[in-house]
């Protein structure tokens, strides 16, 4: 038989996300938060970004659109180019 008790624990939760490109603050309790791209990248061997250097940043959807608009080769969308 198991007995239970109630405990209160503190956990870290995201309070605000800032787009690293434009600086806009995005409340994680809004639908807009679901449209933020979280990037985690580590440079590989002989990377121009640094061997094993780890990058973490967030990009909002309008900034992602601007970045993609600058691509020489358009991304595939829904399986189509």
- Is residue 58 within 8 Å of 36, Cβ to Cβ? yes
Digit-coded pLDDT (tens) for 8-41: 999 998 889 999 999 999 988 887 878 999 999 9
In a domain? residue 80:
no
Residue 81 clears pLDDT 80, i.e. is over it: no
pTM of model > 0.85: no
- Is residue 13 within 8 Å of 23, Cβ to Cβ? no
In a domain? residue 32:
yes
Task: Give the strand pairing for 25-26 and 54-60.
Answer: unpaired
In a domain? residue 7:
no
In a domain? residue 47:
yes
Digit-coded pLDDT (tens) for 39-75: 999 999 889 988 889 999 999 999 999 999 999 999 9
In a domain? residue 3:
no
- Is residue 12 within 8 Å of 51, Cβ to Cβ? no
Q: State the residue range of the domain holding 39.
A: 17-69
In a domain? residue 35:
yes
């Amino acid at each position: 038989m198991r007995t239970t008790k109630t405990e209160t624990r503190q956990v870290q939760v995201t309070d605000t996300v800032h787009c690293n490109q434009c600086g806009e603050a995005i409340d994680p309790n809004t639908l807009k938060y679901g449209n933020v791209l979280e990037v985690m990248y580590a440079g590989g061997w002989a990377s121009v970004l640094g061997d094993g250097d780890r990058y973490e940043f967030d990009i909002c959807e309008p900034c992602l659109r601007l970045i993609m608009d600058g691509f020489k080769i358009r991304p595939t969308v829904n399986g189509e180019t």
